[in-house]
Structure 1
Amino acid sequence: MRRLTRKEIKHIMKFTLLGLYHVHEQGLVYTDLKMENMLINFFPKEPSDGSKTVAKLGDLGQVIPPSQGRCQAVAYRSPEVYFGKPWSYPADIWSWGIVLCHLLEARAQFDELGMYDDAKMKGTLEEREEIIRRRMFEDFKLYDVPFYSDCQLPPRDPEWTDDDNWVVRLVKKGISEYDVTFLWNVLKADPNERPTIEQIFRHGYLHNDEGDEDNKSDES
């Protein structure tokens, strides 16, 4: 197994976003976007530009109308779901952003787990959920986000510092400023501030090569 090139990552994420677009066009939310549900038709042994790769959404069993209540895999779950708010299409955008984040993290440090990945966390499902819930609360300063003002929020961690923030953690992992800035624009705690699928496509991140160090090598 090798690391994906940046062009491969963007190609995969573009197709995944198109899949979400078709689901949302039906007035539905996918609710279960995660690595395991992304089907890739072609993965060459050698690094490539991704042009021959097609990604599709699998497992449509959790596709439902906007609602309220628990849904989404633990690591890909949006803040509004974690804190009991109504959720809709932006919840899928959050999961999409986390998938992109994980792919970029794996490119930087292949053997490290991605943000909020609970694969090696100890404890019950509920205990793992609570760990991520508290981390997300601090990472995105939900105590300062009006959208969550009526939620039962955990107490602030007195030992938490700005150096513990998710953006800082990604930079320390070696994720480029260009990528982190894009993720920052996608992973908004308030779902009303998250970009739509159309806005993500218009942004150009998935279509241009800005920040792609692969261009200076042979797609390594």
Structure 2
Amino acid sequence: MIEVDVLQQLAKHDKGISCCVQIHNWFDYRNHICIVFEKLGPSLFDFLKRNKYCPFPVDLVREFGRQLLESVAYMHDLRLIHTDLKPENILLVSSEYVKLPHTKRFSSDETHYRCLPKSSAIKLIDFGSTVFDNQIHSSIVSTRHYRAPEIILGLGWSYPCDLWSIGCILVELCAGNALFQTHENLEHLAMMERVLGPLPQQMTRRANNGAEKYFRRGARLNWPLGAVSRESIRAVKKLDCLKDLISRHLGSSKASSSLTDLLYGLLKYEPSERLTARQALDHPFFKIPT
């Protein structure tokens, strides 16, 4: 019923430009709340998976990013925080796609294909974890790979946690795989430092009792000494810094440098320094002609 309430709030103020899924109806069937939605296509994650994790072209990433930021800006204007943004919760409006030749193996004449959606239109779904800013905030939110550092450190969270998730999503759409593929907090923080540089001491010193064990003398990350395995150390070492990661997939184009700059704004450690959704929409990356 909380989700129904959120969906009705979104629909009440929507002028058809929110990019949020539309609720048609809801009903109680034998004490099960059922929600009727508009019919949509596969999620961006399902599309990537079906496409053997082949990344999307940068022009599509730009269109997806623009719509995702518009939906989150709309939510934030209504004082709502999604808290569970990830490719599984972003659906293509249409299931239609085109099949294009991609690469040819030198050892055979076999041509490999990549699939691209016919339409870039998307809708944001799954508002079951959405909260109003003035409601009680649980200590842990967001699916692991898209969880912001302030949540891991127990520093509290608000609107900026959605923007961190968007940064992670945009990298994944460009690279084909999740940026932080981990299931453990210390490794996750070590991956962040590998990609984005050291965590600021003003944040690490304020880490709560549950998170202070990840640091030595309350400031420096206890890595690699605290790693649970050699595999964990290797998983962190194989990551590139953000700039190199993006240029590896997009080359040294104008779009590559512009997207990298946007990502650094979305993936700022300090939540107060992170771009807002409205600020991100004004970034030059979204002004590049498609």
TM-score (norm 1): 0.75
> Which residue type is aligned with residue 133 of structure 1?
L
Q: 1: distance between equivalents of 2:56 and 2:82? A: 25
Q: Which runs of 5+ in 2 are unaligned?
A: 1-50, 101-114, 216-220, 226-232, 251-255
Deviation at 1:172, TM superposition (A): 6.6
Deviation at 1:13, TM superposition (A): 1.3
1:170 aligns with 2:245: yes
Q: 1: distance between equivalents of 2:55 and 2:197? A: 32
Q: Kindly indicate whether the alpha-carbon contact (under 8 Å) linking 1:163 and 1:169 is maintained by their aligned counterparts in 2.
A: no
> Which residue type is aligned with residue 165 of structure 2?
S
Over residues 154-174 of structure 1, what are the superposed CA-to-partner deviations in whole Å (9 max), with x where a residue is unaligned? Answer: 424489999965325515733
Quick one: higher RCO (CA 8 Å, sep 6+), 1 or 2?
Answer: 1
1:150 aligns with 2:193: no
Please state which structure has a larger fraction of its residues in helix.
1
1:98 aligns with 2:168: yes
Q: Which residue of 2 aligns with 1:114?
A: 178
Over residues 8-67 of structure 1, what are the superposed CA-to-partner deviations in whole Å (9 max), with x where a residue is unaligned? Answer: 111111111111112212212100000100011135315799894211111110101343
2:72 corresponds, among 15, 20, 27, to 20
How many pairs does the alignment contain? 196
Q: Kindly indicate whether the alpha-carbon contact (under 8 Å) linking 1:139 and 1:166 is maintained by their aligned counterparts in 2.
A: yes
Determine helix, strand or coil for the equivalent of 2:97.
Answer: coil
Deviation at 1:193, TM superposition (A): 0.5
Over residues 111-152 of structure 1, what are the superposed CA-to-partner deviations in whole Å (9 max), with x where a residue is unaligned? Answer: xx331024xxxxxx5xx3442133225544455342332212
Q: Which residue of 1 aligns with 2:190?
A: 134
Q: Which residue of 2 aligns with 1:44?
A: 97
Q: 2: distance between equivalents of 1:83 and 1:89? A: 16
Q: 1: distance between equivalents of 2:259 and 2:280? A: 13
> Which residue type is aligned with residue 98 of structure 1?
C
TM-score (norm 2): 0.58
Q: 1: distance between equivalents of 2:262 and 2:245? A: 12
- Structure 1 residues 168 and 10: alpha-carbon distance in aligned structure 2, compared to 1, 3 A threshold: closer
Q: Which residue of 1 aligns with 2:130?
A: 63
Deviation at 1:6, TM superposition (A): 1.6
Q: Which runs of 5+ in 1 are unaligned?
A: 107-112, 119-124, 210-214, 216-220
Deviation at 1:100, TM superposition (A): 0.3
Determine helix, strand or coil for the equivalent of 1:62.
Answer: coil
Determine helix, strand or coil for the equivalent of 2:168.
Answer: helix
Please state which structure has a larger fraction of its residues in strand.
2
- Provide the identity percentage: 21
> Which residue type is aligned with residue 180 of structure 2?
Y
Q: Kindly indicate whether the alpha-carbon contact (under 8 Å) linking 1:68 and 1:84 is maintained by their aligned counterparts in 2.
A: no
> Which residue type is aligned with residue 98 of structure 2?
K
> Which residue type is aligned with residue 71 of structure 2?
G
Q: Kindly indicate whether the alpha-carbon contact (under 8 Å) linking 1:78 and 1:91 is maintained by their aligned counterparts in 2.
A: yes
Q: Kindly indicate whether the alpha-carbon contact (under 8 Å) linking 1:102 and 1:114 is maintained by their aligned counterparts in 2.
A: yes
